[in-house]
Amino acid sequence: MATQGNVTSVTQSEQAAASAPVIRTIGLSNLHRALQLGWEDFKAVPSHAIILCAIYPVLGLVLARTVHGYSVLPLLFPLAAGFALLGPFAAIGLYELSRRRENGEQASAWDAMDVFRSPSFGAMLGVGTLLFALFVTWIATAQAIYTAAFGYQTAANIPDFAERVLTTPEGWWLIVVGCGVGFLFALVALCISVIAFPMMLDRQATAGEAMVTSLRVVARNPVTMAAWGLIVAALLVLGTIPFFLGLAIVVPLLGHATWHLYREAIVKDPNAHPVIPAPRARKPAADFPANLFPWRRSGSE
């Protein structure tokens, strides 16, 4: 009996090892290829209008708060920087579009919504919740750092805030410590999510499997992944110019490129067949409102 149990345990271990993703060693040329393919996806399925619709209501609330009270000023940079923490989850629809184009399927901006019907969406939501908790912790930490530097007194206006930060020893301390702590938060987010969401979509992996694989990819390619993190940060900074309009291009580009980075870093499993729900039937507008009551139509037929 003990021997049989040991054989079963060994067999399960061998099956798990066989199904584990095979990680490649990648370089800067692979990052360039991922960005190039991401750009091709964006040109084929432009989604900048959707990104603008998602970004500008949030920016409007922040700016309105800024106009009526400058207490939000110290958090403007942490909020912008923290967007990189949430970006991998925010781009899940873009991964689906890239997956469709890779498989030669029809892809439109509306098809990005199908990711919510994927069997792995629950796992994606779990990792997304973890990233959101990381984001909230970063904002709270950034507020604590600012308070440690300047106390609870808020800046009178934007020029006053800029003068405090750029021309005083407390401001220089704030910049150094804030950027250092922010780097640690970004590093954690990069390590656990760099290819996690594409993997969950592609292989129906669990949240734990996807995050562990992301950690393995970073450990296998530390220099390349560091370069990817710098590229993401630089593009997001450029995307804020002017008036955050550039994010309408940068966010989709990075989303699509992340899918292709996953393909560059992980050997494709020829036996993997992602379970994607069949597309919903599109009912013509001429049938409205009868299509709201399908049982009545079937009964009449």
pLDDT digits (tens, 9 = 90+) for 10-61: 444 444 445 678 999 999 999 999 999 999 999 888 765 565 555 555 555 5
Q: Are 10 and 255 in contact (CB under 8 A)?
A: no
Give domain status of residue 8, yes or no: no
Q: Would you call the peptide bond into 88 cis, given omega within 30 degrees of 0 as the criterion?
A: no
Distance CA 187, CA 85 (A): 9
Q: Is residue 274 part of a domain?
A: no
pLDDT band at 106 (very low <50, low <70, confident <90, very high): confident
Residue 141 has pLDDT above 90, yes or no: yes
Higher pLDDT, 94 or 287: 94
Geometric angle at alpha carbon 121, from 120 and 124, rounded to 5°: 95
pLDDT in tens, 156-181: 667 777 888 888 898 899 899 999 99
| Side-chain-side CA neighbours of residue 251 (13 Å) | 28
The answer to whether position 299 is within a domain reads no
Question: Do the domain assignments include residue 72?
Answer: yes
Q: Which domain holds residue 121?
A: 24-268
Give pTM, 2 decimals: 0.77
- Specify whether the CB–CB gap between 194 and 127 falls below 8 A: no
- How many angstroms separate the CA atoms of 255 and 252, rounded? 5
Q: Is residue 50 included in any domain, yes or no?
A: yes
Residue 277 domain-assigned (yes or no): no
d(CA 42, CA 191) in angstroms, rounded, equals: 25
Mean pLDDT of 140-149: 90
Pair 174, 202: CB distance under 8 Å:
no
The count of domains in the chain is 1
- Domain assignment of residue 289, yes or no: no
Produce one character per residue of 186-210: b if its CB has 16 or more CB atoms within 10 Å, e if not.
bebbbbbbbbbbbbbbbbbbebebb
In a domain, 133, yes or no: yes
